[in-house]
Structure 1
Amino acid sequence: MKALKKTLVIGASDNPSRYSFLAINKLRQHQHEVVAIGNKKGTVAGVDITTEMEPVDDIDTVTLYINPRLQPAYYNYILSLKPRRIIFNPGTENTELQQLAVDNGIQPVEACTLVMLSTNQY
């Protein structure tokens, strides 16, 4: 049995045309617990999207769906969660946050969450 990975989706959206929407659905299909933060509240696959950076325990993975220029507001929050890894989906690559991750013992991964889930590499 594969280990389930509690995942924080940053940049979550209830818009079906957004990749974060697809990722939340696929994460839930794979039975991963999902926490979601977006710029407006909503619900996707039974997951409530919050607009607040609330404390969350036991986050394994943070997956990013926000532009690198918006990411600095999340740096301290992400690092405080002490995730095992941060997935930088296409278009979210950020060398500054990647270096902060490494400096804090967090694995930065440049990949697509959807592809990782589809190929059993998540």
Structure 2
Amino acid sequence: MDSKQLMQVAAKASDDKRAEDIVVLDMNSVSLVADYFIICHASNERQVQAIARNIKEEAEANGMDVQRLEGFEHARWILVDLDDVVCHVFHEDERHYYNLERLWGDAPTYSFEEIDREREQMER
């Protein structure tokens, strides 16, 4: 599975647990840290944990290793490191405060709807 397919799996896993405002940043031309950042949020800690847990489970079900899972206990900002794809699952308040989209403003940005549409076309 390449990094784009992994990003699609993780984005879908986020959506399956009702993550809000899922955004994908294409980091290929901006950073060596990862190929993609996925950023999303939820309005309470339990839902933040459910989203992160589902990303982890779906990645593992697709044969990918989770490198790190940080912040799970407090569930204000959980980082799910899938190596080439890094998922940032925020509590709504923290997402607005840290505003990673602005910090990495040079990266091309895609909505979940765009990513999901492309994934569906590839499956046909």
**TM-score (normalised: structure 2):** 0.38
Q: Indicate the structure with greater helix content.
A: 2
Where relative contact order (Cα < 8 A, 6+ residues apart) is larger, the structure is: 2
